[in-house]
Structure 1
Amino acid sequence: MNPSVEYAEIAPALIVFGAAILGVLVEAFAPAGLRAKMHAVLGGGAVFAALIAVALLADAGARPRAVLAGSVADDGLSLALQGLLLVSTLPALALMVGRYDSLTHTEAVPLTLFALGGMLAFVSAQDLLTLFVALEVFSLPLYLLCALAKRRGLLPLEAALKYFLLGAFSSAILLFGVALRFAATGSTSLAAVPQDAVLGTLGAALIGVGLLFKVGAVPFHSWVPDVYQGAPTPVTAFMAAATKIAAFGVILRLTPIAFRDVPWRPVIAVVAVVTVIVGSVIAVTQSDVKRLLAYSAIAHTGFLLIGVYAGTVRGTGAVCFYLAVYGLSTVGAFAVAGAVRESRPDGGTVEVGDLDRWAGLGRTRPWLAGAMALFLLSFAGIPLTGGFAGKFAVFTAAAQRGGGWLVVVGVLASALAAVFYIRVLMTMYFAPPHEFAPDVPRVDPMTGFAIALGIVAVVALGLFPQPLLDLFADITVFSGR
């Protein structure tokens, strides 16, 4: 019996992979002066086309179900996550095209599209082997992208090597977990019930370790600050948003279905508490902007895990809403960090990562400082921002499942996190100008687009969060459920 291939249901991933292959051909045959423009058109067009495909699939109905011989889920969760990935990647691609001078190779866009295609497959995987293959498809391009920073010395190579080594170990651990689950169930389907409780529990634990590494949860977070700091800022923006969306999407699918035979909720609760505390405490001591944003990302991982703890459809929708806000605001924050630059003697520019040298930025570049202030206020969960609506949604979902103590910890951690966010605001607006304050050049249009999209998302989802919350409220977590 020949398996049927439902091309329409996997159209978003096919579009992105096709554009990535065309990008490789452009890199090989197009004139050097035209490559950047061709990559911009090809990458942006592919993302828009994939978004249209997701929208058409969302209107098609007849869900949930499994396609491609049961290896791919065609349900509300997969479409929601694919939409979030594409929307978050669009400003990251714009930032990448606008800051080509900070990259060593123009094939960064095709590599990003390959990674995006792997993530689109990752969040819709209904089979453990499909899950692992998709994980490797999006991880390998990210390892390469981390090493492409120009004028950064050996720091990008160190970041790429650390990410590759730790990522390889985490992938091996996840694959070992897949093998144990197969031994316990006799199947690689997510819905398979283990016949051996010990092997099933060990397999679930190892798969969980691999996924917690990808989201940067404590104690698997050590790669995050070094990689975020060393990688090119456009790549860091893409990783910070898209990788977190993809990994949390799989966690949302696995925990209530594949791991229903193991007590995963207490484990998630402990990891969430430790993660928000470690991320918030260590961020206070950071003096580099990208490392500060990295530890902020770790803290946000803990907040998202509080939403995962709920294990309900409402909790899933709350996490998706949080990811929407976090993805766009994070890309915007890294876009601002990449825009604060100074000239070099050779005619190029280099980023200014030292927070002390941002003193007075509110007076010299009020637009940039205002954008960063808005993003930081959203990260802190200040009312009328998207970050507040996201935290309120995940806290409410957790409280309804007996996680009131988690909400208390989350609120206290948010108060602690506000300390280092306010420190950045004080530096930009109230500290006297630094002796070596950079003469920040004009922001290019692509970077401006990434920042503006983040601003719109933070304001719109802060003032009017209900439409998107309602959209995510009806997500069906598992095909056939």
Structure 2
Amino acid sequence: MNFIPPDFAPASSEIFMLIMVCVVMLADLAAGDRRYIAYLLTQTTLLGCTILTFISFSTESTRTFHGMFVDDSMADILKLMVYGTVSAVLVYSHSYISDRGMLKGEFFSLILFATLGMMVMISASHFLTLYIGLELLSLSLYALVALRRDSLVATEAAMKFFVLGALASGFLLYGMSMVYGATGTLHVSQLAQVIQSGASSKEVLVVGLVFIVAGIAFKLSAAPFHMWAPDVYQGSPTAVTLFIGSAPKLAAFGFVMRLLIEGMGEMVNDWQGMLVILAVLSMAVGNIAAIAQTNIKRMLAYSTISHMGFLLLGFISADANGYSSALFYIIAYVLMTLGTFAMIMLLCRYGFEAENIDDFKGLNKRNSWYAFITLLLMLSLAGIPPMIGFYAKFAVLQAVVNAGYIWLAVMAVLFSLIGAFYYLRIIKLMYFDDPETIEPLVSNSNVRILLSANGFAVLALGIFPQGLMGLSLYAIQNSM
């Protein structure tokens, strides 16, 4: 039998990424003390992947590697968002990691390996590729959290992350095996056909679905599977916390779309109820627990949990409008997270970690421009118009109301009002309290320009959301 090689073109960006990870590691080894070479090569890699993804961009869905890998509009758009997010993370983090001895090849190669895992998750159309992408991302994140081996807090956070992550991966793998046992296929597209035909054991499928949803909830840090997030956010170096809290959420969205919507969309009545419980618990736990926090990273971890509850509202609606609203929401969330953690790193200085909410005291007196950018970010996270956060919440609430879950929308609004308190508290500290130090904020021009653009994007996309909303709807409609 003749071997027919697969079409490598749809996976060209992944292949390029893998090659460049090896190049970055070898170049860092040869560069010696010239650590900037690894940074430049990493940014070049992301730019190269962007160009390759643009070249292969198509409105048609292309499958390769025997149907295990799919390249469609949603995959391309999510990957482009991931490249941009990771690139921004590196720009924001450069001074921080340089001051703390983390500007080395290991950091950049792990970032690129994690990015490769996200790319595989986004384009996976088979249980094996979904799981491989997820584990590549997870293992890279565990190592990134533990990268500062001299920090007991970071080591403890990495151990908690690893143990709980392994448990969640076990849930996911066990659920996938049960679904395979019930349907006899690992292909996402074939799985949908088998479920639709009714030629599978419904009871076994539902049990497998429960384990899969539990695994997904852990990766999204949705309650009650959120217990890792506050400790990992607090214990990780702030640059790593920024990375964990941003780009992987885009990949998690793609993961949910591939597995639940494309593969198990016919079981919507079964997973819809599970997501309702996860959404309500996430919004309740996240918003209420965040009020009591004095550590800013821990507060933002609970904020993330509440935002994941809002994200799930889009999936609960179970239609193209809801899915596109969820995509819009996750993009808005990533944009707000980037700016917020960038401000935290700006407040950090050599030998000092800005981890307490009180570190924002009197920021307006130290630097009025950065205080204004932070004001925009906090208002957006609170969902106050005309910021992008308001429109993102409005979109998912509208989708869930159209699906008939009016009570759920009312609860979401109430929890959002509770959540506004801890964001407005940051604004109060910046503008009405005296600073604890008068030391000026030091930043390079790249960070100033990017952070200013980040803040104004939060405002502009809230006033003119049509373009991003249209792009989100286009991505969903061309992949379903």
TM-score by length of 2: 0.93
1:170 — aligned with what?
168
| Equivalent in 375, 394, 397 of residue 395 of structure 1 | 397
Letter in 2 for 1:102: R
Greater shift after overlay, 289-298 or 308-317?
308-317
Q: Report whether the alignment pairs 1:239 with 2:244.
A: yes
1:64 — aligned with what?
61
Mapped contact 2:154–2:237 kept (Cα < 8 A): yes
CA deviations on 1:385-420 (whole Å, 9 max, x unpaired) are 111121111112222111222221111111111100
Q: CA deviation at 1:150?
A: 7.9
CA deviations on 1:184-228 (whole Å, 9 max, x unpaired) are 111101131251112211222212111110110001101111111
- SS of the equivalent of 1:66 reads strand
Q: Report whether the alignment pairs 1:385 with 2:387.
A: yes
Greater shift after overlay, 307-316 or 121-130?
307-316
Greater shift after overlay, 72-81 or 277-286?
72-81
The 5 Å alignment of 1:63-462 reads 63-100=60-97, 101-104=99-102, 106=104, 107-149=106-148, 153-191=151-189, 192=191, 193-194=194-195, 195-262=200-267, 263-342=270-349, 348-434=350-436, 437=437, 439-462=439-462
Question: RCO higher in 1 or 2 (8 Å CA, sep ≥ 6)?
Answer: 1
Distance 2:77 2:101 in 1: 31
Q: For the structure 1 residues 380 and 476, does the alpha-carbon distance in structure 2 shift closer, same or farther, using more than 3 Å as the test?
A: closer
1:16 — aligned with what?
17
Letter in 1 for 2:85: S
Q: CA deviation at 1:70?
A: 0.4
Q: Report whether the alignment pairs 1:29 with 2:30.
A: yes
Q: CA deviation at 1:289?
A: 0.9
Q: CA deviation at 1:114?
A: 0.6
Mapped contact 1:322–1:390 kept (Cα < 8 A): yes
Mapped contact 2:94–2:103 kept (Cα < 8 A): no
Distance 1:402 1:356 in 2: 43
Q: CA deviation at 1:276?
A: 0.7
Runs of 5+ in structure 2 lacking a partner?
A: none
Distance 1:341 1:439 in 2: 11
Q: CA deviation at 1:102?
A: 2.7
Mapped contact 1:289–1:354 kept (Cα < 8 A): yes
- SS of the equivalent of 1:282 reads helix
Mapped contact 1:64–1:74 kept (Cα < 8 A): yes
Greater shift after overlay, 191-200 or 133-142?
191-200
Mapped contact 1:81–1:123 kept (Cα < 8 A): yes
Q: CA deviation at 1:86?
A: 1.4
Identity %: 33
CA deviations on 1:214-250 (whole Å, 9 max, x unpaired) are 1100011011111111111111111101111111221
Distance 1:164 1:170 in 2: 10
Mapped contact 1:23–1:42 kept (Cα < 8 A): yes
Poorly superposed stretches of 4+, deviation over 4 Å = 476-479
Q: For the structure 1 residues 468 and 478, does the alpha-carbon distance in structure 2 shift closer, same or farther, using more than 3 Å as the test?
A: closer
Q: For the structure 1 residues 123 and 102, does the alpha-carbon distance in structure 2 shift closer, same or farther, using more than 3 Å as the test?
A: same
CA deviations on 1:104-139 (whole Å, 9 max, x unpaired) are 461211110110011011011100011111111111
- SS of the equivalent of 1:376 reads helix
- SS of the equivalent of 1:73 reads strand
CA deviations on 1:347-374 (whole Å, 9 max, x unpaired) are x332221212432122112222222221
TM-score by length of 1: 0.93
1:345 — aligned with what?
none
Distance 1:272 1:103 in 2: 40
Q: CA deviation at 1:56?
A: 2.5
Runs of 5+ in structure 1 lacking a partner?
A: 343-347
Distance 1:258 1:189 in 2: 8
